[in-house]
Structure 1
Amino acid sequence: MKQTDLKSLLALRKTLHKNPEVSGQEIETSKRIKEFFIPLKPDLIIEKLGGEGIAFVFEGLEKGPVSLYRCELDGLPIQEKNDIPHISTLPGKSHVCGHDGHMAIISGLGLELSKNRPQKGKVVLLFQPAEETGEGAAAILKDPKFQQIKPDYAFALHNLPGYELNQVIIKKGAFAASSVGMIVKLHGRTSHSAHPEAGNSPAEAMCKIILALERLPDAMKKFTLVTVGHAQLGNVAFGTTPGEAVVMATLRSFDNETRDKLVGYAEKLIALIAKEYGLTFEITYTESFAATHNDPDAWHLGNEAAKKLKLKTKHIRVPFRWSEDFGLFSDYTKTLLFGLGSGKKQPQLHEPNFDFPDEIIPTGIQMFLEIMAQIHGKPEITQS
C-alpha cells in the first residue's frame, strides 16, 4: 500500500475516532464514509441499508461469486479517558472498541479495489450499523435492498487486545458466543414500611432469582453462562415497603440452540419463584446475538491467507465468550470472523482508555485482499 493511501486511512480513522456515534445514530459517520468512497468510483452504492448502513459494490470483468467484507459504524456510550490528540469530542461517546480502525481497514480495501477490480464476481464492502446492540445485522438482512448483494461468503475481523500485534486468531466452527439480555420485572404490592405485612415485597424472590439464575448453568451439559448485571428493588423511600423489582441478566452459550434452552429453563425457574411468593411477573429480551460460526470453506480461505502472508497464527480451541452481531450472517451464507491481535499490553475492549493501534491496519487489509484473490482471481488493473 502506498504511503499516501495509508496516510489518508489514518486521517480517516482519527476523524471517525473524534466523532463517534452510538448504535442507530450513525448518520454523520455514514456520510463521512460515503464521502471517502465517492472518489473511488464503486459500481454501486447502497445507502440506508438496515438503517444507516451503507455498502459499496465493486464488480469484476467476469461473472463469479460474491464476497462481502463487513465492518461496524457504531461507537459506544462510554466516556473516553485518553491523552491523545484525536480523543472523542462528544461527551459520553467513544470508539473504545476499535470500530474506527475496522472502518479504516475496509476503506483501505476500497482504495485497492478502485485501482484493481476483481477479475470475476463482485466484492461488497459493508459498513454495518448498530453492532453493539445486536440489532444491525438483523435489520440489514431483512432490508429488501440486501437482495442486491446475496453474498456467497461474508468475512469480518475484530481487533483483540491481549494478543501480539498482527497475530491472526482463528477457529473453525463456533468462534463467538450466542447471547441475549433478559429483563425480569416482578410485581408485588407496596405498603407503608411500618406495616410490611400489608404489602407483598418482592425482595426475597428477587434475591432467589439472582442466585438461581447464576447457578442455572450447573445443570447444563454444554457451556452456558448467566451474568446478572443489574437489579433494583423499589425506589429510595424509607417509609415504603417496595412492591416492584427488576433483575437484568445476560444469558450466553456457544450455540443458539443451547442458549434458547437456557432461556427456557430460566423462564420456568422465574415462574416457579414468582408463584411461590404470590408475585406476578413479565420477561422481556434485548440485545440478542446469534452465535458466530465459521464455515469450513471460509475458514480455509482465511487460514491460507494468513499462511501466504506468513503471519503468526493462533488456532484457538475454545470459542470466545463474547458475542458479535456478525454471527447472524452465519445463518445466511458461509462466514469467517477472525481476530487480529492489537497488542498484549493494549487495554481491553470497552475500557475508557482503549485506542485502536494503527499498526495493524495494513495487516487487516492484506488479509482480506489475500482472501479476495482466492475467490475472485487475480485483480484486473483498471487504473494506475
Structure 2
Amino acid sequence: MPIINRIAEFHDDMKEWRQHIHMNPELGYDCHETAAFVVEKLKSFGVDRIETGIGKTGVVAIIEGQGDGPTIGLRADMDALPIQEVRDLPYKSKVEGKMHACGHDGHTTMLLGAARYLAETRNFTGKVALIFQPAEEGGGGGLAMCEDGMMETFGIDQVYGIHNHPGEAFGTFHMRAGPLMAAADTFEIDVTGLGAHAAMPHKGVDSVLVACQIAQGLQMITGRNVDPLKSCVLSITTIHSGTAHNVIPETAKLGGTVRTLDEEVREMVIARMAEVAENIAKAHGAKAEVKYERGYPVTVNHPAETDFAAGVARTISGEDKVDTDVAPMMGAEDFSYMLERRPGAYVFLGAGGGAGLHHPEYDFNDEISPIGASWFVKVVETAQPAA
C-alpha cells in the first residue's frame, strides 16, 4: 500500500498524538484543550497562519504552497461523546463519562500528519486550509464555523473530509456522488386530553391512548406516503406520561427522530406529521402540537469532486479497494454544511474489525492514520500540483 514514506516515518509520533487526544476527551464546543494541543503541533510544524476561536473553539491553519493558486480545505472533527469507556487501554480516557467513541481523535491526528508533511514539502500551488472543527456530535460546529465566515475569510474553493469506518476492510475507501448521509431531524409531540380517575375513563380523554394511536399513525407516513424507492426513517424513541396507576393523565409527550435523503421527502414528512397527529387527537377529543426541529442537512457529495477523491484513493490503496457506489447511510454528519457552501467530497476509510462507532469498547485503529494522512496530502498535491 503506497502511503507516503515520510508520513510512515513519523507514524509513531502520530500514535502518540492520537492517544494523547484519546486520554483527554472534550464534548461539543468545549474543545479548548484539544484545540490548544492542535495549535501547539501546528506551530511546531511551521504553518504560515493559525486562527482560533472560529465556530467558538474551531481552528483553521493555512499552509502556503509554491506561487499563486486556489485554496483547498481539509477538515477533521475534534469532539468526543458522553460515553463511559469500558476497555482498560494504556491510554484510556481520563475523564469520567467521556470518550472518543467515533474516532475524531484519529481524524484530528490524520490531518495533523498531513499538516506536518505539507508544511515540510510545500509541493503544491496556492494554499491549504486545515480545518479542525468542534461539536460535530450534535452541536453543529460545522455550521458555526461557516457562519463565522470561514469559507470567505480563507478563500476556500473546495473542501474534503474523511471518516474512519470500522467493519469495512482495512485500508479500503468508500464513497458515492450525491446523497451519502441523511438529514437528521428531531420532533416532540405534546398531547393534551382530559385527566380522570382510572376507574372512570368515560369522564376523561386518555392522552396515553391518543399518543399510542398517533405513534401508530406516524408509521403510515413511511409505509404509505414515502416513495418505496426513496429512504425515510421515522423512529419514536420516547414516550412520557403519567405519575400514578389510578390516574388517567391529562398530557403525554412523544419524541423521536426523522432521517431522510431527499429534501422533498423531508418536507412531505414534516407536513404529514402535523396532519396525522392533530387529526388523530381531534378524533379522540384531544389536542396535539408537533414541535419539529431540523437538524443536519443531507450530506451531498459533488460528482466531479467525488470522482477526483476516488482517483486519489486508488493511488494509495489500489483500484480494487475503492468503492464509489456505497449505499447511503441514515446517520448524519455536519460536514454537510460545508458541502452546501463549497464543492467537495466526504469519504470513509475502512478500519478493519473491532467495535463499531459510538460503542463503549470502540477504539480508533492507529494503523490507518498514515493512509488517511496520505490521502489528505495527495488530494492537495493532485488538485493543486506544483509547477
Equivalent-residue separation in structure 1 for 2:33 and 2:200 (angstroms): 55
2:305 to 298, 302, 315: 298
Cα offset, 1:287, TM superposition: 6.6
Equivalent-residue separation in structure 1 for 2:213 and 2:91 (angstroms): 47
2:16 to 11, 19, 23: 11
Equivalent-residue separation in structure 2 for 1:121 and 1:81 (angstroms): 45
Match of 2:69, SS state, is strand
Cα offset, 1:346, TM superposition: 1.9
Segment of structure 1 superposing worse, 141-150 or 179-188: 141-150
Equivalent-residue separation in structure 2 for 1:305 and 1:95 (angstroms): 28
After the TM superposition, which residues 56-95 of structure 1 pair with which residues of structure 2 at under 5 Å, given as runs? 56-95=61-100
Percent identical residues: 28
Cα offset, 1:288, TM superposition: 0.6
Cα offset, 1:194, TM superposition: 4.4
- The aligned counterpart of 2:113 is 108
Q: Does 1:350 align with 2:355?
A: no
Segment of structure 1 superposing worse, 170-179 or 357-366: 170-179
Q: Does 1:255 align with 2:259?
A: no
- The aligned counterpart of 1:164 is 169
Segment of structure 1 superposing worse, 203-212 or 183-192: 183-192
- The aligned counterpart of 1:216 is 221
The unaligned stretches of length 5 or more in structure 2 are: 1-5
Match of 2:187, SS state, is strand
Cα offset, 1:2, TM superposition: 5.0
User: Aligned in 2, Cα 1:259/1:287: closer, same or farther, shift over 3 Å?
Assistant: closer
Q: CA RMSD in A?
A: 2.0
Equivalent-residue separation in structure 2 for 1:220 and 1:134 (angstroms): 29
- How many residues are treated as equivalent by the alignment? 378
- The aligned counterpart of 1:307 is 314
Equivalent-residue separation in structure 1 for 2:158 and 2:206 (angstroms): 53
Cα offset, 1:195, TM superposition: 4.2
Segment of structure 1 superposing worse, 202-211 or 226-235: 226-235
Cα offset, 1:98, TM superposition: 0.7
Cα offset, 1:39, TM superposition: 1.4
Q: Is the 8 A contact 1:217 1:223 kept in 2?
A: no
User: Aligned in 2, Cα 1:174/1:323: closer, same or farther, shift over 3 Å?
Assistant: same
User: Aligned in 2, Cα 1:34/1:286: closer, same or farther, shift over 3 Å?
Assistant: farther
Equivalent-residue separation in structure 2 for 1:3 and 1:137 (angstroms): 30
Amino acid at match of 1:42: V
Amino acid at match of 1:228: S
Amino acid at match of 2:240: L
Cα offset, 1:99, TM superposition: 0.7
Match of 1:163, SS state, is coil
| TM-score (structure 2 length as normaliser) | 0.91
Deviations 1:267-322 (A, max 9, x none): 22122122223333333344711111111221122111122224311232531221
- The aligned counterpart of 2:185 is 180
Q: Is the 8 A contact 1:233 1:242 kept in 2?
A: no
Q: Is the 8 A contact 1:224 1:251 kept in 2?
A: no
Amino acid at match of 1:375: A
Equivalent-residue separation in structure 2 for 1:256 and 1:79 (angstroms): 36
Equivalent-residue separation in structure 2 for 1:229 and 1:19 (angstroms): 34
- The aligned counterpart of 2:342 is 333
- The aligned counterpart of 1:234 is 241
User: Aligned in 2, Cα 1:287/1:92: closer, same or farther, shift over 3 Å?
Assistant: farther
Deviations 1:112-135 (A, max 9, x none): 122022532111111111111051
1:367 to 375, 379, 382: 375
The unaligned stretches of length 5 or more in structure 1 are: 380-384
Cα offset, 1:197, TM superposition: 4.0
Equivalent-residue separation in structure 2 for 1:188 and 1:107 (angstroms): 56
